[in-house]
Amino acid sequence: MKLTDVIRPGLMISNADPESRKVEGQTLKVLDQAIELGFFEAYQTVEVPYSAERQGIAERLRANRLSLTYCLARVLNENKFFLSALDEDSRSRSVEGIIPHLDDATEQGADAVAIISGPAEPDEAQRTAQLKQFEKSMLELCEAANKRQLKVVVEPLDTKAHKKKAVGLSCEAAEMCRRVRKGTQNMYLCLDTSHMILNGEDVIAEVAAAMDCMDEFHICNPVLKKDDPKFGDTHIKFGEPGQIDLEQIGKIFAKCVEIEYFTTARRPKMFLEVKNQSDEVINLIKYCRQTMLNAWEIACSKYKAGVK
């Protein structure tokens, strides 16, 4: 069994080339480089502010039968659109502010938009109130996205360690997703190993509990030493000083097969989240591909992934 039998390998263009959104045509250029390798089936970009480029990306996606998630995290952060704001006017304005970007996602051929919450209140009672506000925002945003045939994918970030967002615990996000789905079916989750580890969660247990809600899975390497300049969710390559190396990715792959998250029927989108610091873009793309393939070899040879 091949890795691509049980997952759709994904590439984050915004990590392969973090500044691509600032140069018209650059996101499309990176996409073309990745398509030429013939491995990745799913992609994620941040916002692309150029209509002609968005249309070009959509054409490539259609021609190659690829899926795309249009990530709005930077739009939310930079505009202070806090979908979990306790102030109702602020929350409502945030929803209204993000809705036009759904049209950009549609023009780019995306099937999903990625969303995060706003900053967590330090008081836990207030953070609980923020969860209710975010859920209200999701009902409104999912309704707008549904009209555009888009999924809304929420990524829980850590609540207290580094990113400190209101929606951070996987179990809370999964419960919210199930409630929202009673009104609209297009809310999903993206779980990320970095945020789960920073929250003190067990990665496989959380994936097993939430996989009925999941549209994406990100494997990212967090740094837990607070005095390290790379502390937190900084998207470093795998290995020291982080918590996840190649061996552990292989074990995660094998466990995901064991819990039947990675299956031939499900084939979830799976991304390695590694930010390019100084490599040529094509080298970072190849690093992600080879890391996935090497980890799968470990999963199969050492952990007997897929062997009944």
Residue range 2-31, pLDDT digits in tens: 999 999 999 999 999 999 999 999 999 999
Residue range 264-274, pLDDT digits in tens: 999 999 999 99
Which helix (H) or strand (E) is 57 found in, with range? helix 51-64
Conformational region of residue 65, where left means phi above 0, alpha means psi within -120 to 50, and beta covers everything else: left
Mean pLDDT to the nearest integer, 55-83 = 98
Decide if pLDDT at 149 tops 90.
yes
pLDDT value, residue 251: 98
Decide if pLDDT at 111 tops 60.
yes
**Which residues share a beta bridge with 42?**
10, 67
**Which residues share a beta bridge with 114?**
71, 153
Conformational region of residue 239, where left means phi above 0, alpha means psi within -120 to 50, and beta covers everything else: left
Matching residue, tokens 């707008």: 144
d(CA 84, CA 122): 14
Decide if pLDDT at 308 tops 70.
no
d(CA 276, CA 279): 6
Mean pLDDT to the nearest integer, 193-199 = 98
Mean pLDDT to the nearest integer, 43-58 = 98
Mean pLDDT to the nearest integer, 183-197 = 97
Q: Confirm whether pTM is higher than 0.75.
A: yes
d(CA 254, CA 261): 10
pLDDT value, residue 307: 63
CATH class of domain segment(s) 3-301: alpha beta
Domain ranges of the chain: 3-301
Mean pLDDT to the nearest integer, 64-83 = 98
3-state helix, strand, coil in the chain (%, to 5): 45, 15, 40
Mean pLDDT to the nearest integer, 176-184 = 96
Contact indicator for 141, 94 with CB cutoff of 8 Å: no
Decide if pLDDT at 306 tops 80.
no
d(CA 142, CA 267): 24
User: Cα–Cα distances in Å, from 137 out to 98, 132, 141, 151, 248?
Assistant: 11, 9, 6, 14, 36
**Closest Cα partner for 180 from 147, 146, 218, 129?**
146
**Which residues share a beta bridge with 68?**
43
DSSP code per residue over 67-135: EEEEE-HHHHHHTT--TT-SSHHHHHHHHHHHHHHHHHHHHTT-SEEEE---BPPSSHHHHHHHHHHHH
d(CA 44, CA 164): 23
d(CA 160, CA 176): 20
HSE, side-chain direction, 13 A CA sphere, residue 240 = 0
Share of the chain above pLDDT 70, in %: 99
Torsion angle of C-alpha atoms 184, 185, 187, 190, degrees rounded to 10: 170
